[in-house]
Structure 1
Amino acid sequence: MQSTSSQSRESSPPSRPLARGQACMPCRWRKIRCDGVRPSCGQCTGSQETRECRYGDANTSHASNLQKTVTQLQARLRLLEQGESTTVQSTVLLHDPYSDNSPSYTTPPSQSRSASVDTNSDWPSPDICAILTDTFFQHVQCLPWFLHEGRHRQALTLPDNNPGRPIAALDAAVLLWGSILSSNTSPNFPAVHSETLLDYASSQVGLVNASGQQAIQIIQARLLLAIHFLDTCRVLEGRAHLAAATSLAFRLRLHKIRSSPSSSSLPNATFLDPMTIPLLPDPQDAVEEGERIRAFWTVFCFSRTHAVMFGQYSLVLDSESEERRIDTPWPLNMNLYDQDQMPQDLQSTGTLCRFFHGIRSGWPWENDMLSYLSKASALFERTARFDAVQQRDPTATDPTTSLTEFASLDQRTDELEAQLAPLTAGPAQGLHLAQSLVLTGRIQLHSSFAEQSPISRAKCLGAARAIWNVSVATRVETFVFLDPVIGWIWAAACRVLMSEVALLRAQPARSALPGTTTEAELVQTLDGILALMSALVTASSSMNFHLSRVEQERVVLC
């Protein structure tokens, strides 16, 4: 009995507050009252965190700990200013200032990839990195990649401290996607810690100076990170990377490549000295210029399509004003830049405006897949904007102006669809995405008039069925990756089909249209799209999101 009461008195909290410096380290760090019980106080025992309860020197004050941290940070800054060594021993690591022990984890130094492998067991080995890089480039056509593959591979062979080597964020982003694509194509491939690669790429992409060729690599890295975050439904992070890539592309004036002499930057105000990003130096050769041209149009496609998906305005505007006008010529295939096929004296003005006005440039390279995707993305966004105005307030614009814009967009859509129809060569993923964007643009253009106009209703239904037919024809189920916007497009096609089925049931007399299919055929197409979406949900969180939304709406139809 006496022993039990003695143990109770020993573990019970003191009746008065502890003296300064007597609390355990976790309680001091969290700024909460500590009962001083050892070996573990009441706060740490009841906490769900895994932090160990430990007691330090009572004579060490909070100010002393802070001073210790400041000293470590100053040493780290001096090391960065002098240039980091490639040896791990010279690296100053930051850790918990209240810990008396060595750091419980390490992170790869920001500049040395060899050190990354040595200091982090989760980092892939050099052999695995080589396999992941090969896998990435085997399937690169399904991703927003615009750099020259040969030059990028050659740069990877340079030493870590060589300025010509790709930036760390881009290197990690390529490995990240290599691991994702490997898991999709080779289930027995050794497990790779993708989160380590993702965290490293995300942390490094903002640490590089946006100047010279490294600025183009920043855009590339951010696009790869953006599409990963959007596909995994981490929308805020994905949109942040996309917005940063888009903003940087415009700040570098990639929309003004080969612009006519009249297009110049705005002069600085007399009394103001705005902070600006240094402009890119002149490209060293045709390939470097081609990378910049393809960088802009890749950003353009990504920004336009995903702005529609999230119901937002795109940061890439096709304004008629000189400063915002897109003058960069349509992109060539990278092989043509390699062969220096772009005329040296070519100048371009209003590339996108001329397209919407139906003016063909006559350039022989307009059949490049990125060029088709750029035009399809432009129509996709413009028809969505037109539909939004009609849904919000049709009387807000002049009827004649609206009719003229409608007719122009409808004609551009028909023309681009006709150009895409006979294509069989080239990346199947790009062709499928371009055709799907054009068909969805037709749905957006005619959806506001479908209830009143049998022609618009028939065009919406025809486009929805064509989206399914294109997916079947290109064998989309064999693709290793689908752009997240495809799930949104398939969901839109499903809604058109469900709307038509509901109309057939409610008003059979009104539903007679030339070429209209039966309800059973519509349901069969609908079920086919839903089955395709179901087969892809395991590899895409965004596809799973769109499928769940459509299935909820399908319940009402049944």
Structure 2
Amino acid sequence: MSFKSKSKSTSPVPVLPLRKGLACTNCRRRKIKCDGVKPRCGPCTSSSSAWSDCQFSDEGSTESEILEGEIARLEARLAQLSSPTARKTSGSKNKESINVNLPQGCHGLPASAVKVCLSTFLRYSSELYFFLDVERLQRFLQTPQSCTSSPALLATMCLWGASLSTSPDIRAYETPLLSRASESVAHSIGAPTIIHTLQSQILLALYLLHSNRLVEGKYFTTAAVSLTLASGIHQIRSPTPVSTGVQVLPPAADLAEEEERIRAFWNVFVMANFWTSGDGSHTNKAYTPSGVSNEGVRIDTPWPGSTKPSSFNVISRFLDRDSDEGISPFALMSKASILFEQSATLAKAVTNLGADAIDEFWTRFQNLNALADRILHALPPLQPAHIYRVGDTPRRLTLLMHTLVHVAIIQLHMPFLVSIDDNHATRGRCIDAARSVVRATQSVPNVHDFEYIDPIVATLWFKTCKALLDGVIAIQLNSGWAAGGPSVEDLKTDLDVMESAMRALAPRCKLMASQLRVMENLR
């Protein structure tokens, strides 16, 4: 109803002045008279859409005020981190320090929407495989051509921001942003830096995997792996780098740029480990316990957070338990992803295991078992007393690391779970690992309230449920094995716990919803 239709009289109706403080927020901001009509006052009704969000102070904050408040909070955080003292301690880990003052609009979004999308993205960036150096990205975003010279990077960051936003107006940009992101990433090889291209590919791949578009997600993951190897960032700080004859990347200008490239490699590497083995796909065997024959894919790049001036064959040395390096949170995540990939690869070998390969199989089997225990011991604890963070590691990432290692153990022992052989020890280890995932999930009191969760968790939880289901079958086939262990009812209760967690997160992750449907059909 329009403002003029409030009265049928043709004579003007005098508007009584409101008491101070009772005008709507828009009229106060515009410094014009407000008639106080609710739910929308006359001036707001007849105004443009820019001032259509009419709300009175006694009704709480408007959506735009909430978003503006969030931006103000991030800008205040930026000012804090820009101080000399903060720069000494913050480094590249403080993702909120990115300056979001972009030129007017980008990818069809007004400047205000771009700002909100990036602000939302920043809140979750540590869980979205975001590895760019904050200060370098700041400088880039302050240039007028940032949107046109690296459209893929801006599009994928805004895509995630729109997807995770609680504002319907901002979420409305998600579909057109996906189209723009897909097109720009596919043609982003000419971006200002290869690192921007890698970041764009990983962000888009993760979005597609989260949306249960697995083929497309794996395509962009594979593209990132290929570009990583071609650019040579798998041999950073190598004492004997192998030259391909083509210099794809110039030498790093400083330590910050080198560390950015190290983070880029390991983020791509972790994604590859997750999505080339999580569903049984063939893996890229660029590393084995005994090393590799193709020197071009030997991994010499140091673990994330390493300060050593040189490194060599880091993954093979880790698998041979020849090194205790790499203790930062993301280094532990990288190690857990290796364990996950290697256990999946070894488990597949069981079906075609020849007599001459049995000894080697069991040697690798025991080695991976020992590595799993070693990593579990190094992980930060999951305890109910820690509500959101464990040290500097977000709680969801800590939950993911614990779950990864336990599912790696499940994969190792799963081939022997339902078996006529008396493999009591390996059955017990498999069931214990599955129940440990359940306990880890229960240890996070607000897991049902997570706004976002890494899509690999959907796969990990499904594998856990499958182990619990097979455990029920194993007990029914061999009741003597279960003496002193969990009962069928215990395992069914654990299944209920996992199903509840999956159902709670299914509306926010299409891959989780898909895995939940499969699991429900199996039950």
* 1:493 and 2:460 are equivalent in the alignment: no
283, 286, 294: which is aligned to 1:314? 283
1:483 aligned partner: 454
Say if 1:156 and 1:166, in contact at 8 Å, map to a contact too.
no
Go from structure 1 to structure 2 and tell me whether the alpha carbon gap of 1:316 and 1:279 turns closer, same or farther (over 3 Å shift): farther
The percentage of counterpart residues that share the same residue type is 28
After TM superposition, the structure 1 stretch with the greater mean CA deviation from structure 2, 369-378 or 418-427, is: 418-427
* 1:442 and 2:439 are equivalent in the alignment: no
175, 199, 202: which is aligned to 1:220? 199
2:120 aligned partner: 135
2:302 aligned partner: 329
* 1:252 and 2:231 are equivalent in the alignment: yes
Amino acid across the alignment from 2:188: V
- How many pairs are equivalent? 406
In the TM superposition, residue 316 of structure 1 has moved relative to its aligned partner by: 6.1
SS of the residue aligned with 1:481? Answer: coil
After TM superposition, the structure 1 stretch with the greater mean CA deviation from structure 2, 131-140 or 142-151, is: 142-151
With the length of structure 2 as denominator, give the TM-score of the two structures: 0.73
Say if 1:413 and 1:442, in contact at 8 Å, map to a contact too.
yes
Say if 1:145 and 1:220, in contact at 8 Å, map to a contact too.
yes
- Deviations along 1:64-121, one digit per CA (max 9) or x if unpaired, are xxxxxxxxxxxxxxxxxxxxxxxxxxxxxxxxxxxxxxxxxxxxxxxxx96875xx8x
In the TM superposition, residue 230 of structure 1 has moved relative to its aligned partner by: 1.2
* 1:351 and 2:329 are equivalent in the alignment: no
In the TM superposition, residue 124 of structure 1 has moved relative to its aligned partner by: 2.4
Separation of aligned partners in 2, 1:116 and 1:128: 8
Q: Determine which structure has more spread, i.e. the larger CA radius of gyration.
A: 1
Say if 2:236 and 2:302, in contact at 8 Å, map to a contact too.
yes
473, 497, 521: which is aligned to 2:443? 473
Amino acid across the alignment from 2:517: S
| Structure 2 residue runs without a partner (length 5+) | 1-101, 383-389
Go from structure 1 to structure 2 and tell me whether the alpha carbon gap of 1:508 and 1:465 turns closer, same or farther (over 3 Å shift): same
SS of the residue aligned with 2:188? Answer: coil
* 1:242 and 2:225 are equivalent in the alignment: no
Separation of aligned partners in 2, 1:265 and 1:540: 42
- Deviations along 1:240-280, one digit per CA (max 9) or x if unpaired, are 1111111000000111000013x32256xxxxxxxx6x421
1:169 aligned partner: 152
184, 208, 212: which is aligned to 2:188? 208
Go from structure 1 to structure 2 and tell me whether the alpha carbon gap of 1:316 and 1:180 turns closer, same or farther (over 3 Å shift): farther
2:42 aligned partner: none
Q: Show the 5 A alignment for 1:101-140.
A: 123-140=108-125
SS of the residue aligned with 2:182? Answer: helix
SS of the residue aligned with 2:369? Answer: helix
* 1:144 and 2:132 are equivalent in the alignment: no
- Deviations along 1:184-235, one digit per CA (max 9) or x if unpaired, are xx25664432121111111112333457x61111000010100111111222
Amino acid across the alignment from 1:414: D
| Structure 1 residue runs without a partner (length 5+) | 1-112, 268-275, 333-340
Separation of aligned partners in 2, 1:221 and 1:127: 22
Separation of aligned partners in 1, 2:450 and 2:209: 18
1:429 aligned partner: 396
Separation of aligned partners in 2, 1:435 and 1:397: 35
1:62 aligned partner: none
Amino acid across the alignment from 1:129: V
2:367 aligned partner: 408
1:264 aligned partner: 242
Go from structure 1 to structure 2 and tell me whether the alpha carbon gap of 1:143 and 1:348 turns closer, same or farther (over 3 Å shift): same
274, 282, 292: which is aligned to 2:261? 292
Say if 2:380 and 2:398, in contact at 8 Å, map to a contact too.
no
1:155 aligned partner: 140
Go from structure 1 to structure 2 and tell me whether the alpha carbon gap of 1:553 and 1:190 turns closer, same or farther (over 3 Å shift): same
- Deviations along 1:307-326, one digit per CA (max 9) or x if unpaired, are 11231223362152322210
In the TM superposition, residue 404 of structure 1 has moved relative to its aligned partner by: 1.2
Say if 2:205 and 2:217, in contact at 8 Å, map to a contact too.
yes
SS of the residue aligned with 2:252? Answer: coil
Separation of aligned partners in 2, 1:479 and 1:142: 12
Separation of aligned partners in 1, 2:181 and 2:126: 21
Amino acid across the alignment from 2:522: E
Amino acid across the alignment from 1:382: Q
1:301 aligned partner: 270
SS of the residue aligned with 2:296? Answer: coil
SS of the residue aligned with 1:179? Answer: helix
1:505 aligned partner: 476
Amino acid across the alignment from 1:374: S
Go from structure 1 to structure 2 and tell me whether the alpha carbon gap of 1:226 and 1:405 turns closer, same or farther (over 3 Å shift): same
Separation of aligned partners in 2, 1:191 and 1:489: 28
Say if 1:300 and 1:316, in contact at 8 Å, map to a contact too.
no
Separation of aligned partners in 2, 1:296 and 1:476: 30
Go from structure 1 to structure 2 and tell me whether the alpha carbon gap of 1:502 and 1:132 turns closer, same or farther (over 3 Å shift): same
With the length of structure 1 as denominator, give the TM-score of the two structures: 0.69
Separation of aligned partners in 1, 2:244 and 2:504: 52
2:333 aligned partner: 373
Go from structure 1 to structure 2 and tell me whether the alpha carbon gap of 1:331 and 1:190 turns closer, same or farther (over 3 Å shift): closer
Go from structure 1 to structure 2 and tell me whether the alpha carbon gap of 1:308 and 1:191 turns closer, same or farther (over 3 Å shift): closer
Say if 2:458 and 2:515, in contact at 8 Å, map to a contact too.
yes
Separation of aligned partners in 2, 1:519 and 1:197: 48
2:30 aligned partner: none
Amino acid across the alignment from 2:186: G
1:28 aligned partner: none
